[in-house]
Structure 1
Amino acid sequence: MISTYRKKFNQEFSQEKYNQVKEYLKQKSGIEPTFRISESPLFLTKDFKAKLIEASESIIDQIKALPQNVLQNAIPDNCRVPNDTEKPHFFTIDFGICKNENGEVEPQLIELQAFPSLYAFQRVFEDAFCDVYPFLSELRNTISPEDFKNHLRGLIVGEENPENVVLLEIYPEKQKTAIDFALTEKLLGIKTVCLTRVKKNGRKLYYENEGQLTEIKRIYNRVIFDELDRIPNLKTEFDFREDIDVKWITHPNWFFKISKFLLPLLQHPFVPKSYFLNEFPETEDLKNFVLKPLFSFAGSGVNLNPTKEITDAIEDKQNYILQRKVVYAPIFEDINGDFSKAEIRLLYIWPENNDRPILMENLARMTKAAMVNVDFNKKDAIWIGSSNAFFADE
């Protein structure tokens, strides 16, 4: 989308520099990325960024205006956690990069979450591109490294001692996002703890920290709560639904409240029309829609070509939505003259005393397949995988 930067990047690109980017990430984190790193960043215009921000601000306004009982209805009864909060600590919003009928590039909402994404990783990823391709530094994030760290520290650690704050995940060493855990530990001085290793005594939680039982006062939660029931023989000392003396960052209920559940309730030119499956009108054509379960992760359960037979067979129709299909635009040219499609996730934090969230970073994903998921790409494809977007005035 920005011809000068795309041309310069493609001219400077080499396999050696791609390896340098990955080596930079490994050196900073201490571990190898377990997901595919794209060879290229995205270059997006100031005008496109303005469209992203305007749409996001409108969506935030609409969410803030919703009655609390509407959001509460999104939480499955078996997943309600006590001591809910007025707002989420995190807010992320995904847009597909598309073209409208006039050929203009515009964003289209894909989904939104109040769940932590790869905040620490994406900042280092941006640094990696700038280190290997110095000309990119003129486009880098305007939030200084110190401000970025202080924002995250204030949100996650707060006034507590870092040893009383943990990043909580289930089997963290097996997660694809393990590199982000490692970078978060380095950035904030907190430990990553597996849910199975948390100890409970009364209303208090503890973990073993260098041989000593240490109280957990704040949890930077990376556990997808509703996925725990799918893990066979899982044994833990505490249940999320228990009333415990801990501060959740962010509270697990928000995973459900800010989710695909909201898509049928939002209105904006950059928000594709969506319906709950049980409310899908006969006037609409099913072939124009994508079927999505309300609560799924990394694209699981998505059906790009639903049929009436498929939708009729679903019993819990209230837990699915149909979202009007979004056509991603193949506009990101690689070194071979082929083009990738992409989507961009805006990573916000929402401090408790702030009326509105703060945009911290972005996460981009590139693909040449029907879905923005590396598993669906050909193995020899390039310009695919996890990326980062740079914005310019062009």
Structure 2
Amino acid sequence: MIPAVRKLYNEQFTPEQYQAFLAGIADDTGEAPAFRVAETPVFVPAALGNKLVQACEEIVDVLLRPDFKTITRDAIPASLKVPHENDHPHFIVIDFAVCKDAEDHLVPQLIELQGFPTMLAFQEVMARRFKTHFNIPAGLSNFFNGLDEAAYYQLLRDMIVGPFAPEEVILLEVKPEEQKTRIDFHSTEKNLGIKTVCLTELIQEGKQLYYIKDGVKTRIRRIYNRIIFDDLQHQAESLGAHVNLFQELDVEWITHPNWFYRISKYIMPFIHSDYVPKSWFLHELPVVPADLENYVLKPLFSFAGKGVLIDVTAADIDAIKDPENWILQHKVKYAPAIETPTGPAICEIRMIYIWQDGSARPILVHNLARISKGKMIGVGFNSQDTWVGGSCCFFETGDTK
């Protein structure tokens, strides 16, 4: 999206560089990604970068409302509430589509947000490997707020491991070796020294949790949580015996599971910004718009694009039996903003925040990108294309020549 940088990158790109890039990722993490990694990063010009930051900070202002927990009291399904919720999430990710306004300027439009971690360790690996194998100008950065690789990982250690010994902290997931994001688990283990543990491996004694590390039963003081609890609920019967995470347990959560639901598409109707599409809870919709072709219908308690109706009809709305669990959102039109050798592509940009205990506001630290040439953005929809998939952004911070 920075024309001169894009042109030079495309001209200098070779398939051999790309294969060396992928091999470098595998060397760093111990395995190849289980999803497609794009041939290119996203080069974000300063004007768009400033709008992305502005949009994020306007959303953070909503999260800081003194009545935030009140307005989101119905965001957590009763069956998914976990005890001992803390005051704020430790991680926030905010996803934007890259679009164009009426003046043909690139602008962000909010797609989704979550109080949940993302590929925090792997994104640094990917960005570093892009810089190693391709010509990324010095005036571009994948970090924010003055961070570099060393400071970023120290921040992650402070946030995730904190005052505990690394063996007292685990990354918790359901069947982690079956997850497409497992490359991030491996990167986290390597850089933070904590172990990835499957839910079925937990041992409960009273309110305390343990796991077996190197043959020794080890107390768990803190959980870096990567489980999405509605997914867990759907899988529970097939998992066999496992600890019930919905009970009171003597353990710290980073971040607490309830924040996945409080900070989600549920809060979109409360956010008023030029960069947030107008949204309504379906049961509060004053009138069904005549131009439904310009709207999408989203279930509140389904994630990763599941259940979204892109081509909405009045009959679809009439058929909804639980309108309080849906939002109608103005449709976002992605701009084919990335020129590639095999045709233009669209993208989403995820802005990654960390919120340390004791801090007044979360801080922006890193990013993630998804590039697509189809109707859907997720990396799972792009297996047949090239120059698409998971990626990262380099933001213009200085001279890019």
TM range (shorter): over 0.9
Q: State whether residues 203 and 210 of structure 2, in contact with CA within 8 Å, keep that contact through their aligned partners in structure 1.
A: yes
CA distance in 2: counterparts of 1:329 and 1:135, whole angstroms: 23
Structure 2 counterpart SS, 1:75: coil
**Could you say which residue in structure 1 is the equivalent of 2:25?**
25
Amino acid aligned to 1:373:
G
**Could you say which residue in structure 1 is the equivalent of 2:268?**
263
Amino acid aligned to 1:192:
T
Structural mapping, 1:1-394, within 5 Å: 1-65=1-65, 67=67, 68-140=69-141, 141=143, 142-231=146-235, 232-282=237-287, 284-285=289-290, 286-336=292-342, 338-377=343-382, 379=384, 381-392=385-396, 393=398
Q: Which moved more, 1:290-299 or 1:35-44?
A: 290-299
CA distance in 1: counterparts of 2:21 and 2:381, whole angstroms: 23
Q: Return 5+ residue gaps in structure 1 as ranges.
A: none
Q: State whether residues 130 and 137 of structure 1, in contact with CA within 8 Å, keep that contact through their aligned partners in structure 2.
A: no
Structure 1 counterpart SS, 2:40: coil
Q: State whether residues 382 and 389 of structure 2, in contact with CA within 8 Å, keep that contact through their aligned partners in structure 1.
A: no
Q: State whether residues 200 and 237 of structure 1, in contact with CA within 8 Å, keep that contact through their aligned partners in structure 2.
A: no
Deviations 1:322-372 (CA, angstroms, capped at 9, x unpaired): 111000000211124x10000100011100111111211100000011111
Q: Which moved more, 1:129-138 or 1:189-198?
A: 129-138
CA distance in 2: counterparts of 1:59 and 1:157, whole angstroms: 27
Structure 1 counterpart SS, 2:72: helix
Amino acid aligned to 1:251:
H
**How many percent identity over aligned positions?**
44
Q: State whether residues 173 and 197 of structure 2, in contact with CA within 8 Å, keep that contact through their aligned partners in structure 1.
A: yes
CA distance in 2: counterparts of 1:233 and 1:111, whole angstroms: 30
Compute the displacement of 1:138 (Å).
Answer: 4.3
CA distance in 2: counterparts of 1:235 and 1:358, whole angstroms: 40
Normalised to the residue count of structure 2, the TM-score between the two structures is: 0.95
Amino acid aligned to 2:7:
K
Compute the displacement of 1:49 (Å).
Answer: 0.8
Amino acid aligned to 2:265:
K
CA distance in 2: counterparts of 1:258 and 1:155, whole angstroms: 19
Q: State whether residues 36 and 383 of structure 2, in contact with CA within 8 Å, keep that contact through their aligned partners in structure 1.
A: no
Cα pair distance change 1:92/1:135, threshold 3 Å: closer
Amino acid aligned to 2:41:
P
Normalised to the residue count of structure 1, the TM-score between the two structures is: 0.96
Query: Aligned-residue CA RMSD in angstroms?
Result: 1.4
CA distance in 2: counterparts of 1:227 and 1:301, whole angstroms: 14
Q: Which moved more, 1:50-59 or 1:133-142?
A: 133-142
Cα pair distance change 1:294/1:99, threshold 3 Å: same
Compute the displacement of 1:66 (Å).
Answer: 5.0
Amino acid aligned to 2:360:
D
Q: State whether residues 42 and 388 of structure 1, in contact with CA within 8 Å, keep that contact through their aligned partners in structure 2.
A: yes
Deviations 1:142-172 (CA, angstroms, capped at 9, x unpaired): 4122211110001100000000000000000
Q: State whether residues 259 and 295 of structure 1, in contact with CA within 8 Å, keep that contact through their aligned partners in structure 2.
A: no
Q: State whether residues 169 and 193 of structure 1, in contact with CA within 8 Å, keep that contact through their aligned partners in structure 2.
A: yes
Compute the displacement of 1:235 (Å).
Answer: 2.7
Q: State whether residues 115 and 263 of structure 2, in contact with CA within 8 Å, keep that contact through their aligned partners in structure 1.
A: yes
CA distance in 1: counterparts of 2:65 and 2:296, whole angstroms: 27
